[in-house]
Amino acid sequence: MAQDDHSGSEVAAADSSHAAQDFAGSTGTAVIPYDAFENPGFEPHRPRVTDEEPKREKRAQRTVYTLFYLSVLGSVWAIAAYMLFPIESNDVDAVRLNNMFIGFGATLALLGIGFGAVHWGKSLMTSAESIDTRHPIASSEATRAGAVEVFRQADEESGFSRRTVIRNSLIGALLVFPLPAVVLFRGLAPQDELPVPLLSHTMWKKGTRLALDPSGVAIQASDVTIGSVFHVIPEGLNDLEQGRLEEKAKAAVLLMRLEPNELNPAPGRENWGYDGIVAYSKICTHVGCPVALYEQHTHHLLCPCHQSQFDVANNCEVIFGPAKRPLPQLPIAVDDEGYLVAQSDFTEPVGPSFWERN
């Protein structure tokens, strides 16, 4: 029993405007009323003003070729602009003029052809419409049967479906042969490094001095006044011959000074700062942008990428936004010359979370 609905046979009127039976297939849940309207056929042809008035036709013609000639002018202009607006003077404004005038010439050249061609098509070309017949996309029964016969004959001659061992082993071979190519792509990453240990350590070590970004000059504790923010890199980062940006992407640090009584260090971290000076990783724990915006009075750190906010007074815990983990803190101290130094590396991996982080 049909678990479906209106099959073709239930349609009462063989109405040419709802040619359901022209395209094989059931009509599903479509409703085909027996007294639907019929297609009234084409509307009477309405002539254009350019068809009826020769003067308007002449005007349209003039417009079209004028546009094409303007296009030629545009091309010439663009070439002339290339020569007349040099940019070798180190002057940014010269580049602007060069860009603008070559561009205007090119624009005129292109729009001239474009508008001219469309206007020609709309107002001058004969406006009669073409009518094509659509044929069902599916091939005729005969063609379908022919195709089936081809496959059947090929199957018979090759024994493809009969010789199951040959067939199955072929399928197996075809499935497996791309795998070596896939394995080759392992070479995209270094063979001798593992990601997790690299992610878990930075360049900071006990005694590494905190230095200014980007100059690399070491920072003394007395330099850091209340309300300051220093952008910090490890001393020696700029001297690296290789891997400078990779180390910086983990080692960038923010240095701020608050009144000591405004800070609430977590248990065990009371001596990670120095007299209200605290250092935190600059790399956002969400997806790794630099959390660089520091608000002096609210002690908020804001990441501009996805608006995560961290509270410096409370161990940089997250107070808004999609991040979860607080920014890792760099334990700092002062060496005997008054320079700020790290007490050790960060005690947890910096930057965005990853699966193996625990």
Q: Dihedral of the CA atoms 197, 203, 207, 213 (nearest 10)? A: -150
11 sits near other proteins (criterion: CB under 8 A): no
Stretch of 154-162, 171-179, 263-271, 278-286 contacting other proteins, by CB under 8 A: 278-286
Which is closer to other proteins, CB of 154 or CB of 198? 198
Among 75, 98, 314, 344, binds other proteins (CB under 8 A): 98
What part of residues 177-206 is at the interface with other proteins (CB under 8 A)? 185-186, 188-190, 193, 195-196, 198-199
What is the Cα–Cα distance from 311 to 328, expressed in whole angstroms? Answer: 12
What is the Cα–Cα distance from 202 to 345, expressed in whole angstroms? Answer: 7
Burial class (CB in 10 A: 0-12, 13-18, 19+), 236: middle
231 sits near other proteins (criterion: CB under 8 A): yes
275 sits near other proteins (criterion: CB under 8 A): no
326 sits near other proteins (criterion: CB under 8 A): no
Q: Kindly report the backbone phi and psi dihedral angles of residue 211, in degrees, each rounded to the nearest multiple of 5, phi listed first.
A: -125, 160
61 sits near other proteins (criterion: CB under 8 A): no
Tokens of 263: 């800070």
To other proteins, the closest distance from the beta carbon of 172 in angstroms equals: 26
- Amino acid of residue 210: L
Contact indicator for 231, 254 with CB cutoff of 8 Å: yes
- Rounded to 10 deg, the angle between the 92-119 and 54-84 helix axes is 160
What part of residues 327-346 is at the interface with other proteins (CB under 8 A)? none
300 sits near other proteins (criterion: CB under 8 A): yes
261 sits near other proteins (criterion: CB under 8 A): no
Which is closer to other proteins, CB of 109 or CB of 316? 109
146 sits near other proteins (criterion: CB under 8 A): no
52 sits near other proteins (criterion: CB under 8 A): no
Longest CA pairwise span in the chain (Å): 102
Among 61, 290, 334, 344, binds other proteins (CB under 8 A): 290
Prior bond of 214 cis (ω within 30°): yes
